[in-house]
Structure formats: structure tokens, C-alpha cells
Structure 1
């Protein structure tokens, strides 16, 4: 969708962290975006996250499978309308396994059983500070899919929020997977570029879908609905 004459190659940003430009084609992006719009509807829909210090995240979020809140997981939207979290869709799990196979290999994909997705919406001026995805009880890889506006994705180190880090431009359709020694690396989105989404998407802003393995034991959310 970016109009590149020659598609950019996949790149290993750090050990276990791989960026694949243009991994989702136009139709796959449209299908995933349509699903995100359905998931965002209440109950248990898109919400603004309030941090324990009283501040609010500029990114709005909806969760599937398990509900993330600062700093844990629950089966209901404990910091919102209290509704049960929407189920994790089996087709999204299949897509995530395909992503792991494409980046970290078939062996890693064969044991990848995701049961959580966080769908983040970046409106005008939204950003994400440096953080680690560490509330899960699993070191399985994180799969990140980008839709809409281009952003600067900052991928750092496992020790702290500071340097060294690498800034990567993520465009609509891009895939980023991080696992192994990079699974608990700090990362964030310091900037998005409004108006860079392809018109065919009908999207103003950026949507990021991150898929994870909770490792919380038996889950009744792995079936879910399609998209």
C-alpha cells in the first residue's frame, strides 16, 4: 500500500526482534480494520486508560481474551464498564502464528498459542511512552500489526528506558515481532504522522494490534469470533 517500487526487506532490529514491511496486503488490512471497529464497540469497548497516578494515556485501548489494566490482567473491564472482556478470536491467533513463522521460524510458531490482544488507537497527538510488556506470565513472542498512519516505533533495551534504542518507521501493513532475548525490551511510540494512512482504509489515525500469550493457565477465550 505504500507504493514502493521494490518492497523493503525484513530486518532484524535486535536479536529476536524482526520488522517486516508491508506484510499485510490491502485486503488483509481492510479485514483486520473492520474487525477492530467491531471490537471497539461497547460493552467492553474502546476506553481511555487511567494510570494509578491519575494521568490518562493518550492512546485508547480495547482488549480481547484478557483485559489489561495498569498493571495486570482481569476477565472483566475492571477499570471501565465492568463488562466481560471480549473473546480472543481464533482467526487472529492463526494470523499471529503465521507472523511468528515468517519471522522467528516454524518451530517457534508451532508452540505459539496466543490468547490476548490489545488494540490501541492513536488519534492526533497520541503517543506511547517507553515501557515493557511484562504483565504476562509467558516469554512467548509479541506480535505487532500496524494499520493507518505511519509512526516512529522506538525499540530499546531490556535494562532501562534510555539508550541504546533503534527508531523504526512502521507503516500500515507492517509487522513487528519481538521474542527471545528481546521479549522484554522497552519500546514506545514517540510520534505518529497524521494523514499518512492510505485513503482506501478510511482511517484517520493509527491502529496497532498486539498479540500475546498470557500464560495464566486454562482459558475459555481461545475460540472467539471470526473477522
Structure 2
């Protein structure tokens, strides 16, 4: 946003968990949005995720590299149209490594080769319950990029879905990285503020692009 009374600054939310406001500039946001729109097309496109208990997630999802389903990974959309998952592009992996370096410092990415992306689309009323990213066989930092509407991102602890937690406002272009002692912390999105996306982006709703190292 323009002319902030108190400009936003980067902050360590927990050990190994860092929020970097406005990490993506306007051009990078538009380019990433265009890529997301292509990835969302069928086959292996945007889908509604169904849980083992028969419920559905309110945020819709598309995957790159490997297909995530509750609670594992597959080479095809086993809970959807059965198509092969779309490939994970090399440039997205480089973006992930740069994000980790910028957030956590030189050498933090190590030899991590990012090879999975989970892209969640939140429309009005969508949310995400507290959960851990624990289906990977690697503990490399998780990279999360935000596009579109502002959300409340709730970052908790590694022991329980309940308090203590910290609520962080994520806006379009923001980066959030969590690794090290916070790699398996519970986190979620209890609220999305509809209609708050930058008008020039041309997006109604919120996209989160989460990059991971599968270790598979």
C-alpha cells in the first residue's frame, strides 16, 4: 500500500520463521499470477481437496512437481482427474532458493532443490485450518508467496494446534519463510479480507504459492 504511516518491516515471527513484506515487486507479481492461471487450467488443474473424513477444503488447490493429497504425494492427480501432475519449473526453484537466502541469510538454502509447489486459491469465505507441512521427506525451509487479497496468517508452535501463535498480515507480494526449529510449526489462514487485492493486479481472491523440497 502507498504512503504507510508506519512502513512495514521484515520480522522474525519465531526462530527460523521470517516475514518479508513486499518481496515481489508489481512486475514479478503479475508474472507469477500469469503462471498460476496457466497451471490452474485442466488437465491436473485447480481442484477441490477432499479430506479422508469426507469433508472438503474451502481453498482450492493445484500442484506442481508432485501431487499432494491428504496425506501424501503422487505423480498423478489421484483424487481428481488422474492426469499426470504438471512439471515444476526450474525458475520457480531458483525463486525459492533466493527467497530462503533473502529471508534467512546466505547458506540457509544449502543444497535444497525445490521440486514441489502447492498453489492454493482462496475466494471469499475460504480459510485454512491449523496444520503442519509434514508429508515431505526433507526438512528444508518452506517458502510461501502471497498474491491478491490480504489474509491473516496464523503461525503457531510445533507441539499443538492451539496457542501460542502469532497472527501476521500477509499482503500481495509478501514472502514468508519457515525452517529450522520452526519447520514443522502448525500454521493456517483463519481469515481473508475480500476486495483488498491491488487493483492493478487484476486478481479477485488470494493465491498462496508454497514451495517445498520433497526429499522423495
State the TM bucket, normalised to the shorter chain: over 0.9
2:98 alignment counterpart: 98
Deviation of 1:7 after TM superposition, in Å, equals 4.3
1:10 alignment counterpart: 10
Q: Which runs of 5+ in 1 are unaligned?
A: 217-227
Number of aligned residue pairs: 215
2:159 alignment counterpart: 159
Deviation of 1:193 after TM superposition, in Å, equals 0.2
Q: Contact conserved, 2:109 with 2:140, CA < 8 A, in 1?
A: no
Q: Contact conserved, 1:156 with 1:162, CA < 8 A, in 2?
A: yes
The answer to whether residue 37 in structure 2 is matched with residue 37 in structure 1 is yes
1:50 alignment counterpart: 50
Q: TM-score, normalised by structure 2?
A: 0.98
Q: TM-score, normalised by structure 1?
A: 0.93
Q: List aligned pairs for 1:170-209, cutoff 5 A.
A: 170-209=170-209
2:89 alignment counterpart: 89
Structure 1 runs of 4+ off > 6 angstroms? none
1:225 alignment counterpart: none
Q: Which runs of 5+ in 2 are unaligned?
A: none
2:213 alignment counterpart: 213
1:123 alignment counterpart: 123
2:19 alignment counterpart: 19
Deviation of 1:110 after TM superposition, in Å, equals 3.9
Q: Contact conserved, 1:49 with 1:69, CA < 8 A, in 2?
A: yes
